[in-house]
């Protein structure tokens, strides 16, 4: 009986020890995992932007007088040469020597405007010839395999932008010549009051084709020389202005691809950076923080039919791409964590150019192993890993603080 009691007691002790060992044994850490993939990497700058007309034209009164009521309204389409307003010259101005000198000065200013437009036209034509030559040479070199396809695409885009600049220069040239014709006609009315046709009514005509953006004075009224009457613009010549932080603008280069999102229409529009303005300005954020911002000018490269509904001053969201790679090893940004300072960053490290000190937990055989990695670039959702990982590996996303190297893990079901 004594032996039997001892046997039962020993078995109970062993069972209790096993129960205690099981109770205090470390449990596997529940984790979420994501695969390392091989794919396209993109890094960019996201910010709000707005559309604006590349050129807007303010049509002003070429002489002082009584403005007759205008029938134009915002949104009306006009053609170059259409009558926008009629002005009856004021009688005192016809005999005023000061008004005569003002009209002569206006003619001289219009002549200078024509000269500037001619110079811009010649400059844009020269730039077009250079772009055509560069595009031809790049196309030949691309066919022979000496340049990358991306360089050929960039030259094609530069050629398209040069052609658009010629179109804009031609429009400016026509507008400058129309301003000169208006100024000369107004000077003739002042010098010879009886020369104005239509019972001394002077007709103000549209310098370019486009749409009416604003009617400054629709009712009949007395207007002075130079009073703005109508603003015109070609809504098919839109650009996007993105006020980026000055620190972000340093990463942007002319020709950088741009994606225009959340603009109110279907799909995503494509664009290219035309230029980055050299001067910054101060803007107060919604939190009351003063920020230095730089305007980045973007040309729309998508077909005009896709963004025909856009107008002047519309809000859009742009993503300026600063880094691209067609075939990169991608890991979720949420899987990365910094290494301790006293540890090496992994392969490829050097004293001169130390790589980013980052690491991930790789799940293998039910255990999590800490693996140092070398980052090439970081995007909004994924990072480009240069060394340390292979496609197909399972990494822990949002690793808990209790997770250690070699710890047992259990993958949480999605």
Q: pLDDT tens digits for 102-111?
A: 777 777 787 8
Assigned domain for 255 exists: yes
314 and 349 co-located in one domain: no
Q: Confidence band (pLDDT; 50, 70, 90) for 353?
A: very low
Q: What is the span of the domain harbouring residue 199?
A: 55-233
Assigned domain for 24 exists: no
pTM attached to this predicted model: 0.62
Number of folded domains that form the chain = 3
149-178 average pLDDT score: 77
Assigned domain for 389 exists: yes
pLDDT (0 to 100) of residue 259: 92
Whether residue 296 has pLDDT greater than 90 = yes
268 and 383 co-located in one domain: no
Is residue 161 classed as helix, strand or coil in its secondary structure? helix
Assigned domain for 14 exists: no
Backbone angles phi, psi at 273, to 5 degrees: -70, 125
Whether residue 114 has pLDDT greater than 90 = no
243 and 214 co-located in one domain: no
Alpha-carbon distances of 386 from 324, 343, 398, rounded to whole Å? 14, 19, 21
Distance separating alpha carbons of residues 252 and 276, to the nearest angstrom? 8
Whether residue 192 has pLDDT greater than 90 = no
How is residue 165 annotated by DSSP?
H
Q: Does 8 or 327 have the greater pLDDT score?
A: 327
Boundary-marking domain end, from 293, 326, 359:
326
341 and 352 co-located in one domain: yes
pLDDT (0 to 100) of residue 345: 45
Distance separating alpha carbons of residues 136 and 370, to the nearest angstrom? 52
E strand residue ranges, 306-387: 315-332, 337-338, 358-364, 367-378, 382-387
Assigned domain for 7 exists: no
How is residue 349 annotated by DSSP?
-
133 and 213 co-located in one domain: yes
Assigned domain for 352 exists: yes
Whether residue 50 has pLDDT greater than 90 = yes
pLDDT (0 to 100) of residue 198: 42
Q: What is the CATH number of the domain that holds 338?
A: 2.40.420.20
179 and 281 co-located in one domain: no
Beta-strand relationship, 37-53 and 221-223: unpaired
Whether residue 372 has pLDDT greater than 80 = yes
Assigned domain for 83 exists: yes
Distance separating alpha carbons of residues 66 and 200, to the nearest angstrom? 11
Neighbours of 318 (CB within 10 A): 26
140 and 213 co-located in one domain: yes
Distance separating alpha carbons of residues 203 and 268, to the nearest angstrom? 44
Boundary-marking domain end, from 272, 296, 326:
326
Which runs of consecutive H residues, i.e. helices, occur in 25-148?
91-94, 97-143
258 and 277 co-located in one domain: yes
Is residue 353 classed as helix, strand or coil in its secondary structure? coil
Assigned domain for 13 exists: no
356 close to 374: Cβ distance less than 8 angstroms: yes
Q: pLDDT tens digits for 201-218?
A: 778 888 888 888 888 888
354 and 304 co-located in one domain: no
Alpha-carbon distances of 266 from 257, 263, 304, 309, 316, rounded to whole Å? 19, 8, 14, 11, 13
Q: pLDDT tens digits for 130-142?
A: 888 888 888 877 7
322 and 334 co-located in one domain: no
212 and 287 co-located in one domain: no
223 and 94 co-located in one domain: yes
Residue that the structure tokens 């729309």 belong to: 300
Alpha-carbon distances of 248 from 37, 223, 266, 321, rounded to whole Å? 28, 47, 28, 11
Boundary-marking domain end, from 186, 210, 233:
233
């Amino acid at each position: 009986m004594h032996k039997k009691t001892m046997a039962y007691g020993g078995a109970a002790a062993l069972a209790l020890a096993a129960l205690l060992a099981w109770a205090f044994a470390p449990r596997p850490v529940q984790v979420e995992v994501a695969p390392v993939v091989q794919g396209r990497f993109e890094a960019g700058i996201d910010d709000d932007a707005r559309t604006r007309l590349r050129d807007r034209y303010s049509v002003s009164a070429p002489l002082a007088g009584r403005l007759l009521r205008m029938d134009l309204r915002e949104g009306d389409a006009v053609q170059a040469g259409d009558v926008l307003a009629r002005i009856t010259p004021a009688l005192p101005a016809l005999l005023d020597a000061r008004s005569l000198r003002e009209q002569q000065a206006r003619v001289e200013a219009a002549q200078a405007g024509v000269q500037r437009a001619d110079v811009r036209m010649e400059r844009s034509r020269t730039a077009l010839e250079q772009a055509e030559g560069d595009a031809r040479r790049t196309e030949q070199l691309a066919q022979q395999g000496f340049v990358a396809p991306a360089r050929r695409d960039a030259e094609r885009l530069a050629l398209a932008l040069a052609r658009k600049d010629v179109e804009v220069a031609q429009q400016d040239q026509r507008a400058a010549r129309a301003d000169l014709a208006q100024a000369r006609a107004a000077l003739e009315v002042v010098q010879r009051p009886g020369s104005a046709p239509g019972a001394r009514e002077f007709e103000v005509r549209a310098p370019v084709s486009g749409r009416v953006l604003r009617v400054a004075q629709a009712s009949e009224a007395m207007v002075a020389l130079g009073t703005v009457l109508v603003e015109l613009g070609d809504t098919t010549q839109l650009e996007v202005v993105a006020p980026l932080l000055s620190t972000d603008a340093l990463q942007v280069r002319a020709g950088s691809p741009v994606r225009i999102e959340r603009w109110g229409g279907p799909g995503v529009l494509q664009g290219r950076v035309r230029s980055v303005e050299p001067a910054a300005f101060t803007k107060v954020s919604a939190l009351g923080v003063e920020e230095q911002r730089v305007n980045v000018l973007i040309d729309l490269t998508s077909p005009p039919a896709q963004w025909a509904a856009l107008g002047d001053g519309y809000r859009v969201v742009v993503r300026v791409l600063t880094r691209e790679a067609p075939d990169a090893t991608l890991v979720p940004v949420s899987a990365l964590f910094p290494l301790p300072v006293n540890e090496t960053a992994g392969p490829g490290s050097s004293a001169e150019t130390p790589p980013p000190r980052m690491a991930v937990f790789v799940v293998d055989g039910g255990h999590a192993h800490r693996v140092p990695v070398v980052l090439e670039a970081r995007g909004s959702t994924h990072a480009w890993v240069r060394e340390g990982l292979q496609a197909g590996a399972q990494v822990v996303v949002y690793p808990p603080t209790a997770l250690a190297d070699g710890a047992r893990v259990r993958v949480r079901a999605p």
